[in-house]
Chain A
Amino acid sequence: MIIGFLLIPFVFTLIFAAVFGGAGEDETLPRISVITVDKDRSLLSRFFLSSLSQGELKKLLSLKEAEEPEGRKLLDRGKASALLIIPENFGDRLWQGQEVEILLLKNPAEQFLPQIVQEICDTASLVFSSLLSVFSEELDIIKGFVDHDQFSDENVSMISIKIKSKIEGISKYVFPPVISITERTKADEEKEEASTLNVSSYILPAIAVMFLLFICNVVFEDILREKESGPLLRMTVSPLKLSEFIWSKILTSAAIGVICTLALIVLGRLIFSIRWGNPPLVFAVILCLNIMMAGFIAFLYSFVRTERQAGAVLSTVILVMALLGGSMIPVDNFPSHIQNFSKLTLNYWGIQAFHKTMLQDPIGEIIPILLGMIFVGLLLSGLGSHFLNKSLRKGLLK
């Protein structure tokens, strides 16, 4: 059962990482399939479409040319994310400085990819329009050459010089570019990983803290089982004191919790590449956390009499604490008044301790949390032992 509880945080983290984060090695996006229909087949329509398959866009978009009916059929079948239709007279209208509309049909079954195509087309249209405005004079001349078939060496040289001088004229505004894009590799990101938390780094400790409570619960459930099935009675009449027996359970629970947490830490490092922080400090967090958890569960068990009661009460308390304390939803997402309640849960402090260690926060911020956890753990263990002793003794008498 304990192994089951140990595996659950991993399964949860895997699911969360798969949905929200990049847990895999290959993080490249798949190419977005776009069908193009060029009804104009003019110089400018080809120029526009070819602009979508240049440079980085070539890696992102997979363009396939088709006739309109076939294109619509493919889109209906979900074979593409979008269908881009260049209307007839696209080139002529542009030469004449008139507005033109490009039709973009998006695949309704997809949410994000058609949106990306739309953004790209919007940007391409804007750039294309700007270029047409800047080079309108030169384009008119070129159109005259095309219309009258006057592509002589002299005319080509003349238009080339004109374009070159215009590019030189605008180059002081364009180069160097005001906005630049820096490409970063995963290795670069890892260097800065210590200062931020990725999805796995958040999820695994958060869920692990919750499941540690369940693990402690399993150990304490045995007490009730031992009470109901007899061994506890024999234990009580043996030279062992009942209080010693209860403390042994608290220590066993904390020890099993420490072992399970260590296993989670190692597996988290191996599987999710989580950087837990300074090892001695991480161990201190694990130790204090498990003392606190064991004490808390011992305290709760002093109020329950049967396994069934324990099942109902403990599960409810653990789940409510998990919800409030950030094991299910990051506490930062809560309204501030709920966040105040979060601070009353063990989960909150456990998660805080782990995250602060991961983020390599100053030790002065971590030590008070650890001391608080030990204090709460010992206090609850003491109270739990006292009350549990009384309730168990009472339960043994028939």
Chain B
Amino acid sequence: MLKISHLSKTFDSLKAVDDISFEVKEGEIFGFLGPNGAGKTTTISMISGLLKPDSGQIMIDNQDLETHLRKIKKIMGVVPQDMAFYEELSAKENLLFWGKLQGVSRKTLAERIQYYLDETGLLGRENDPLKKYSGGMKRRINLILGLIHQPSLLLLDEPTLGIDVQTKLNIYEVIREAASRGTTILYTTHNLQEAEELCHRIAIMDQGKILAVGTLSELIQIVGEKDIVLITGKFDVDQGQKIIARFKEAAVISLREEKLVISLEASKTMTGLLEEFFKEGISIDEVSIKHPNLESVFLKLTGKELRE
């Protein structure tokens, strides 16, 4: 459904997206995981036609986006990170307006409005102006606006940002339901749990590059059985290297002053490792052990935690 080949975009001297390629199958929920500034939104902006790539190709439904932009826009839905509707209008008025703009007939539109409002628990509030809605309710309307024309491809840019758990779960439900109907979903997030819970496949992105793509179990295989250990304390790079060299089973992921990320089997080696630090007179501030999961995969691939 969606095929990205060697896509790049540079802003001034910043390479926001650096030669990325991936494919998303029909009906798949594809997660785009990365910290802020990783290049997720730039990628979505290029796929939605908002931004022109410097190089590369975007194929949607076997059509080149560059040459079939208008046609592709009709089968594509976008849920931007920020709210994108008329706050003075009611939910119903907004849905009617945007639905008609997408070419949905009035009759179909009336049925879909009823359906989606019901599914998101907003039925009964459809005539209230959106400015009176809570943040979570607005998020749900923002999602429905991207779905109202039942697109083949839905691009979601952090759709659950800053909302309560209940609304989040409702949004997941609506997304899963859309995917089950055959809608291909590209979902950007910096929330590991969300990606684990919702996405069929995940691409891990950092500094404009895709570091790994796969299902959750495929990604976890990258770290194997080993845990990812993060140690922070008063040490420099040389001291860190010296200590780690004593443990052949430990592989350094990232080492800089006062911060070390390694992969090892923590249950076997951790006590000895810490003892070595203490012997060297190094005080340790924090030790964190990530067992094989998406978070440890992310840490292994990027050398940093997602919240950094």
Point out the residues of chain A lying under 8 angstroms from B87, CB to CB: 229
Q: How large is the interface on B (under 10, 10 to 19, 20 to 34, 35 or more residues)?
A: 20 to 34
Contact with B along A236-268 (1 / 0, CB 8 A): 111111000000000000000000000000000
- A237 and B70: CB pair below 8 A? no
Interface residues contributed by chain A, number (CB under 8 Å): 16
Q: Contact: B84 with A239, CB < 8 Å?
A: no
The listed residue (B70, B85, B86, B145) touching A239 by CB distance below 8 A is B70
In the complex, given contacts A231-B85, A237-B50, what are 17 additional A-B residue pairs having Cβ atoms less than 8 angstroms apart? A230-B83, A231-B84, A233-B84, A234-B78, A234-B80, A234-B98, A234-B145, A236-B49, A237-B49, A237-B73, A238-B73, A238-B98, A238-B102, A239-B74, A239-B102, A397-B51, A398-B81
Contact of B86 with A238 in the complex, beta carbons under 8 Å: no
Would you call the interface of chain B mostly helix, strand, loop, or mixed?
loop
Nearest-CB distance from B274 to chain A (Å)? 43
> How many angstroms from the CA of A230 to the CA of B103 in the assembled complex?
20
Asked whether, in the complex, the Cβ of A239 is within 8 Å of the Cβ of B83, the reply is no
Say yes or no: B145 contacts A241, CB within 8 Å: no
Q: Which residues of chain B have a CB within 8 Å of any CB of chain A?
A: 41, 45, 48-51, 70, 73-74, 76, 78, 80-87, 98, 101-103, 145
Question: A239-B74, A397-B51 are known contacts. Are A234 and B41 too (CB-CB below 8 A)?
Answer: no
- The residue of chain A having its C-beta at the shortest distance from the C-beta of B51 within the complex is A397
**Interface CB pairs A-B, < 8 A, 26:** A229-B87, A230-B80, A230-B85, A231-B86, A233-B82, A233-B84, A234-B84, A234-B85, A234-B145, A235-B101, A236-B49, A236-B50, A237-B48, A237-B49, A237-B50, A237-B76, A237-B78, A237-B80, A238-B73, A238-B98, A238-B101, A238-B102, A239-B101, A239-B102, A240-B101, A396-B50
Question: Chain A contacts of B41 at CB under 8 A?
Answer: 398
Say yes or no: A239-B50 contact (C-beta < 8 A), given A233-B84, A234-B78. no
A-side contacts of B76, CB under 8 Å: 237
A166 at the interface (CB under 8 A from B): no
Q: How far is the CA of A147 from the CA of B40 in the complex (A)?
A: 121
Contact B70 A241 (CB under 8 A): yes
Determine whether A79 belongs to the interface, using a CB cutoff of 8 Å to chain B: no
Question: Separation in Å of the A114 CB from the closest CB of chain B?
Answer: 60
**Chain A residue with Cβ nearest B87:** A229
Which residues on A are within 8 Å of B, measured CB to CB? 229-231, 233-241, 393, 396-398
Minimum C-beta distance from A388 to chain B (A):
16
CB nearest neighbor in B for A396: B50
- Chain B residues whose CB sits within 8 angstroms of the CB of A398 once the complex forms: 41, 81
B73 CB to nearest A CB, Å: 5
CB distance from A363 to the nearest CB of B (A): 44
